[in-house]
Amino acid sequence: MKCPSCNHLEDKVIDSRSAKEGQVIRRRRECLQCHRRFTTYETVETTPLLVVKKDGRREQFSREKILNGLLRACEKRPIPAEKIHAIVDQLEADLVRLGNEEVASSEIGERVMAALHQLDEVAYVRFASVYRHFKDLNQFLEELRALLK
């Protein structure tokens, strides 16, 4: 590992420990030339997950896009940020666990809506109104009636 201070290529590992629930190994290193210490993180390299959009386009899975959608839906609601991040973490872990290289955007949207339905009904309706592209008030009312049942 190249030292970030002097660019020397030799170092020694001082400490290793698991991080992020066992998904990452954190290593504390010391440069053998300048003796500065630095930290590195080791993760498993995976193939990128592709999202197949409704029009057939494919794009790389983006945690940030899902997180931004959830944050908008949960805006001004009494929902801790940890719970919103947990939804994204769980979604990503579930999709990776499936082992598919591609996933339909509709499956992602349905999974997010199911998680929001359990978390907060107002956030669920907000997300559903954008995700399902309600055309008029009647479609919106149908979703609310289904929620009330």
Which tens digit of pLDDT belongs to each residue from 63-102? Answer: 999 999 999 999 999 999 999 999 999 999 899 888 899 9
Residue 3 lies in a domain: no
φ/ψ of 48, rounded to 5, equals -65, 140
Number of domains in the chain: 2
d(CA 28, CA 40): 7
Q: What does the pLDDT look like over 113-139, one tens digit per residue?
A: 999 999 999 998 889 888 777 777 777
- For residue 94, the enclosing domain spans 50-148
- The closest alpha carbon to 7, from 42, 50, 38, 43, belongs to 38
pTM score over 0.75: no
Residue 121 lies in a domain: yes
d(CA 64, CA 104): 17
